[in-house]
């Protein structure tokens, strides 16, 4: 039987801001093992990574120019996931990991199959539900990107 390394502990998930860059509007979320928000340098690292990978132009026939970034200050490593919506209902998801031993070296983890941890999945699930509510199943019959960007997750899970 596999034993847990430590007992489950709730972590804070906090909406930080809407960050605008190169035509993109990205919701920023912080998740932390010990604090309410991740350290500022991790937030800056996430923005620098996003600038490198977000496709340009932000808005096309297939892309809305919106998405979200998760900055997870974990117990054993730091995780950054960068996600954006395209083709009406598809989420592009990219994960980067930096160990505490090499905090300035983020490895692209997506090709290894890493998707998300249980706390990151809460953000993904919330954003999925927000997208369906405001874009795909909007009662007005048209996507409401502004309303999507206003929905925020702030919870201890």
Domain that holds residue 79: 12-156
Report how many domains make up the chain.
Answer: 1
User: CA torsion, points 150, 15, 124, 149, in degrees to nearest 10?
Assistant: 20
Domain contains 69: yes
Q: For 90-133, how does the pLDDT look when each residue is reduced to its tens digit (9 = 90+)?
A: 999 999 999 999 988 999 999 999 999 999 999 999 999 999 99
Cβ(94)–Cβ(110) under 8 Å?
A: yes
User: Which of 3-7, 31-35, 41-45 shows the lowest per-residue confidence on average (mean pLDDT)?
Assistant: 3-7
* Residue whose C-alpha is closest to residue 128's, from 79, 86, 91: 91
How far the first Cα of the chain sits from its last, in Å, is: 26
Domain contains 4: no
Domain contains 63: yes
Whether residue 7 is predicted with pLDDT greater than 90 in this model: the reply is no
Domain contains 6: no
Domain contains 143: yes
Would you state the pLDDT for residue 88?
95
Q: For 69-87, how does the pLDDT look when each residue is reduced to its tens digit (9 = 90+)?
A: 999 999 999 999 999 999 9
Q: What is the pTM of this model?
A: 0.95
The rounded mean pLDDT for the chain is: 96
Domain contains 135: yes
Domain contains 56: yes
Would you state the pLDDT for residue 103?
84
Higher pLDDT, 104 or 152: 152
């Amino acid at each position: 039987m596999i034993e847990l390394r430590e007992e489950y502990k709730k972590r804070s998930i906090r909406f930080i801001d809407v960050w605008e860059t190169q035509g993109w509007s990205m919701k920023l979320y912080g998740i932390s093992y010990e604090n309410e928000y991740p350290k500022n340098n991790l937030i800056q690292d996430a923005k620098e990574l996003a600038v490198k990978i977000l496709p340009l132009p932000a808005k096309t026939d297939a892309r809305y120019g919106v998405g979200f970034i998760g900055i997870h200050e974990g117990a054993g490593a730091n995780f950054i996931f960068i996600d954006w919506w395209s083709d009406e209902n598809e989420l592009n998801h990219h994960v980067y990991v930096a160990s505490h031993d090499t905090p300035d070296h983020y490895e692209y983890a997506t090709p290894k199959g890493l998707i998300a941890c249980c706390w990151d999945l809460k953000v993904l699930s919330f954003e999925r539900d927000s997208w369906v509510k405001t874009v795909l199943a909007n009662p007005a019959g048209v996507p409401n990107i502004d309303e999507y960007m206003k929905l925020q997750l702030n919870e201890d899970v």
